[in-house]
Amino acid sequence: MQHSADIQRPESRFRESEQDDKWNFCLTTAIVAVNRRNHEQTTPPEPLTGLQGKVALAAVKGDRTIAQLAEHFDVHPNQITAWKSQLEGSASEVFGSGGGTPTTPAIDVKSLHAKIGELTLKNDS
């Protein structure tokens, strides 16, 4: 005849094993999350090239919806939105702020007067 302690023992081992599995899963998930976060922080964003640039430009144009572009280019809509934002954010680096008038180079009046005088003397000779 088995005692009640013998019957409970395999069940408690099963519970401990199940709990260990849950803890292992949680720890593994945490490690993966930390590694992913560290990778994202140290990896610079990819430049807009090739397909990325075409998709981002098409999104900025607005001729088609994001869903239509996603189907056409076989890219996830969230990725298209991210590339569009990246393009719009980097446009100011390419074209400047665009808020003011274009800066003109400083004119050296003395050197221009000297050149005019030189050419005048040359013409008079």
| pTM for the model | 0.41
- Written as six digits, the tokens of 93 are 């680096």
Q: What band does 123 get if pLDDT is binned at 50, 70 and 90?
A: confident
Contact 87, 57 (CB under 8 A): yes
Q: Tens of pLDDT along 77-108? A: 999 999 898 888 887 777 766 555 556 667 78
Model confidence over 70-80: pLDDT tens digits?
A: 999 888 999 99
Q: Kindly tell me the burial class for residue 15, based on how many C-beta atoms sit within 10 Å of its own C-beta (0-12, 13-18, 19 or more).
A: exposed
Distance CA(108)–CA(119), nearest Å, equals: 17
State the distance between the two ends of the chain, measured CA to CA, in whole angstroms: 133
